[in-house]
Structure 1
Amino acid sequence: MAEADPVIETATAEEVQVEQQEAAKPRRNWLRLIAMLSVPLVLMVAAGVYWLGLQGKVSTDNAYVQQDKVSVSSEVGGKIVEVLVEEGDMVEAGQLLFRIDPEPYQLQIAQANAAIAGAQANVIALSNSSDLTGVDISAAREDIAFAQARFNRVKALWDRGFSTKADYDAAEHAVAQARESLRQAEARQTEARARLATGSAVPGVNPQVAAAQADKATAELALRRTEVRAPVAGRVAQADRLQPGQQVVPNLPVLTLVAEQDAYVEANFKETDLAEMRPGQRARIEFDAYPGLEIMGHVQTIGAGTGSEFSVLPAQNATGNWVKVTQRVPVKIAIDEKSPRRMIAGLSTEVTVYTDDAKGKH
């Protein structure tokens, strides 16, 4: 009997192990079931949280930094003789950028001065001419009186028969010539007065003198424009043609000024994102060039047309193979904060506009 006890104990241990394994099976089944149900539930919760996070805001990465750019050109032509700025320099409004050879325009001023002097001398000569003073008119009137008196004497002799027909006709002809001389002298005086007259456009100034003065003013303006100054403050760019000796063509840009202090972002949003977007809504701006940098701004304006409407060749959809494409509308985002990093035109950004005011305040 003593030998049978260990066998009984062994059998009992195996039975206990089997019972434990059978008891663990339902527990593992429940754990498996819980895991199978929890994974979809977690995914659904995560999706719900993500979806709720997207509500009240719209985002786009089709956005770029924009800055006002002014193309600088010369209003007069000529050779560049001095350059005072280089690529990348910051300039203030009114600062001298470069000079054009002033000598041709200085010569034009000299010519204009000579023309003014000539016109003034002509005015003086006309003022002192016999045509204007009336000397010829007085002489013509005296000739008329003398011719008339002689005609009267000849006529008296003719009436008495003591003169010939030839003398009578000669005396009558002399009176007619004297009267014609008076008419011509009066016409010359009228013409001289007209040449000295001034019009309502330039009262008190002879037209010839005024024309010469206008030529001088034009030459002086051209001379002043040989000094090309910055119309606005900004950074010099595209100044590759700004070289001494380079010939400048009027109104052809030779450099560009970028107004960095007036930077903004042009974000191209899908048309489906515009339903709740309004000017004044807060916006967050992130920069690809400066990871971690976030700047707040606001919606300033929403474009008046899609990008395709202002393209050189607008899309023509009146065809049989038309495919609907979601359009992009440019939205101007004003920057409300001063950036610690330099704003460069064309930088890629990501813009998030908070259409829910409560979210935009955070």
Structure 2
Amino acid sequence: MSQENNTTKPKKKSNALFAIIFSILVVAGIIYGVMAFLHAQKHEETDDAQISSDISPVIPHVSGYIKDVKVKDHQYVHKGDTLVILDDRDFQIALENAEAGLATAQSGVSIANAGIGVTASNIASSRTSIETVDAQIESAKVNLWRANSDFERYSNLIKDHTITQQQFEEAKATKELAEKQLGILQAQRNAAAKNVAAVASQKSVSSSQVSSAEAKIKQEQAAIDAAKLNLSYTVITASVDGQVGTVNLQPGQFVSAGQSLFEVVPNLKRWVVANFKETQMTKIRNGQDVEIHVDAYPDLDLKGKVSSISPATGAKMALLPPDNASGNFIKVVQRIPVRIDLVGVNDATLQMLSSGMSVDVDVLLTSAGNSAPAATPAAGTDTAGTAAK
């Protein structure tokens, strides 16, 4: 009997210890559950979040062969620093060709202007000739009038045989000669007038040539500007201060205009993009405070604020968005990208944060900005009329 009592006592003790431990675990579980529930009422968390930043691609404006690469992988650069130099010999020749074209166009303007001067001199000479002929015509008209008068008088005298037949014939010849001389002078004047018109037409042509030559000058000047611009593009510089990514370039390599060579990540521009489930978006608003934990730096806790919420899900923004009407439908909880701006972070910390680092975010739902967004009026609603009423 004594041996049986001794074996039952340890069992009772072990059962009691198990009950105590189990009770402690149950109480701890209840406390943890209550705390998690209370925390969930005021917070929304996700580990689907990354550090983001602007990424500035280095893209050449012109095609060409690489002459020299001035940067290495992950090098820090400043805005305006030379990154890559292209072979500029073809572009230098194009510039010289454009400059030669400009010189030719300028000489064309000089020749056209000289033609206008010669034409103006010819017009003045022709007008002087017309004036001279006009004076001669007036003198011829006087001579013709005198000859007509003499002929009429001699015609009357010949009837009375007061004058001889020879005198009458001389008066008649003088009259006919004056008529022919007047006709010749009038023909000369008409010819001179036509010459003035022709010379004036030539002046118009010369003026058109000047205008064309001046337009050619502008065209060649534009070609020079374009050639200089293309020549400047052979030196590729950094557009921002930042850190260079991986540089896979070698001298002699051919690159095309518009081809992305590598990237430069700005130094002091960082934010967080957190992808919350659509079921978590009920209370998330702009302006709410956020706690950020960086996986790479466990001891680094950052602060931020919700700055914007994407108008579409990540799936809709994808290169190939899903189309639920094209096959069997399986409902999947969608993710909404939320941008979170960092607050109170110094420059040294920003340089530690690489774009793409994983972070955990915790949004405080009770902080500023938790009010529901105002409803926007439907299309076609007369808000002004409603307010007036």
The answer to whether the 8 Å contact 1:281/1:357 transfers is yes
Task: Provide the residue aligned with 1:191 in structure 2.
Answer: 205
Shift of 1:232: 0.6
The partner residue of 1:138 within 124, 131, 135 is 124
The partner residue of 2:259 within 245, 252, 255 is 252
The one-letter code matched in structure 1 to 2:262 is L
The answer to whether the 8 Å contact 2:57/2:263 transfers is yes
- CA–CA distance in 1 between the matches of 2:61 and 2:106? 31
The one-letter code matched in structure 2 to 1:345 is S
Alignment deviations for residues 291-330 of structure 1 (CA, whole Å, 9 cap, x no partner): 3432222222111211122122323334684332211100
TM-score (norm: length of structure 2): 0.72
- CA–CA distance in 2 between the matches of 1:340 and 1:145? 92
**Greater alpha carbon shift after TM alignment, 127-136 vs 114-123:** 127-136
Is it true that 1:127 corresponds to 2:113 in the alignment? yes
**Greater alpha carbon shift after TM alignment, 85-94 vs 118-127:** 118-127
The one-letter code matched in structure 1 to 2:203 is Q
**Greater alpha carbon shift after TM alignment, 143-152 vs 231-240:** 143-152
The partner residue of 1:291 within 295, 298, 308 is 298
Residues 206 and 329 of structure 1, relative CA distance in 2, 3 Å threshold: same
The partner residue of 1:102 within 88, 92, 103 is 88
Task: Provide the residue aligned with 1:177 in structure 2.
Answer: 191
The answer to whether the 8 Å contact 2:119/2:200 transfers is no
The one-letter code matched in structure 1 to 2:198 is Q
The partner residue of 2:279 within 256, 268, 272 is 272
Task: Provide the residue aligned with 1:316 in structure 2.
Answer: 323
Residues 156 and 354 of structure 1, relative CA distance in 2, 3 Å threshold: same
RMSD of aligned alpha carbons: 3.9
Alignment deviations for residues 112-136 of structure 1 (CA, whole Å, 9 cap, x no partner): 3323322332323333336556211
Where 1:65 maps in the other structure, the secondary structure is: strand
Alignment of 1:232-251 (within 5 A): 232-240=240-248, 242-251=249-258
The partner residue of 1:74 within 35, 45, 60 is 60
Where 2:293 maps in the other structure, the secondary structure is: strand
- CA–CA distance in 2 between the matches of 1:48 and 1:115? 85
Task: Provide the residue aligned with 1:231 in structure 2.
Answer: 239
**Greater alpha carbon shift after TM alignment, 338-347 vs 268-277:** 338-347
Where 1:323 maps in the other structure, the secondary structure is: coil
Where 1:55 maps in the other structure, the secondary structure is: helix
**Greater alpha carbon shift after TM alignment, 83-92 vs 128-137:** 128-137
Task: Provide the residue aligned with 2:46 in structure 1.
Answer: 60
Alignment of 1:40-59 (within 5 A): 40-59=26-45
The one-letter code matched in structure 1 to 2:195 is S
Where 1:105 maps in the other structure, the secondary structure is: helix
Count of residue pairs brought into register by the alignment: 336
Task: Provide the residue aligned with 1:3 in structure 2.
Answer: none
Where 1:129 maps in the other structure, the secondary structure is: helix
Task: Provide the residue aligned with 1:352 in structure 2.
Answer: 362
Alignment of 1:332-343 (within 5 A): 332-336=339-343, 337-338=345-346, 339=349, 342-343=352-353
TM-score (norm: length of structure 1): 0.77
The answer to whether the 8 Å contact 1:264/1:335 transfers is yes
Task: Provide the residue aligned with 2:226 in structure 1.
Answer: 218
The answer to whether the 8 Å contact 1:263/1:335 transfers is yes
Q: Report % sequence identity.
A: 26
Alignment of 1:137-176 (within 5 A): 137-145=123-131, 153=140, 156=144, 162=176, 173-176=187-190
Residues 325 and 194 of structure 1, relative CA distance in 2, 3 Å threshold: same
Shift of 1:209: 2.7
Shift of 1:97: 0.9
Task: Provide the residue aligned with 2:215 in structure 1.
Answer: 207
- CA–CA distance in 2 between the matches of 1:96 and 1:127? 47
The answer to whether the 8 Å contact 2:286/2:306 transfers is yes
Shift of 1:164: 11
Give the helix-richer structure, 1 or 2. Answer: 2
Task: Provide the residue aligned with 1:202 in structure 2.
Answer: none
- CA–CA distance in 2 between the matches of 1:75 and 1:261? 27
- CA–CA distance in 2 between the matches of 1:250 and 1:122? 36
- CA–CA distance in 2 between the matches of 1:207 and 1:22? 117
The answer to whether the 8 Å contact 1:68/1:260 transfers is no
The answer to whether the 8 Å contact 1:126/1:132 transfers is no
Shift of 1:68: 0.7
Shift of 1:109: 2.6
Where 2:97 maps in the other structure, the secondary structure is: helix
Is it true that 1:114 corresponds to 2:100 in the alignment? yes
Query: Which stretches in structure 1 are left out of the alignment for 5+ residues?
Result: 1-13, 199-204
The answer to whether the 8 Å contact 1:67/1:260 transfers is no
Query: Which stretches in structure 2 are left out of the alignment for 5+ residues?
Result: 149-171, 369-389
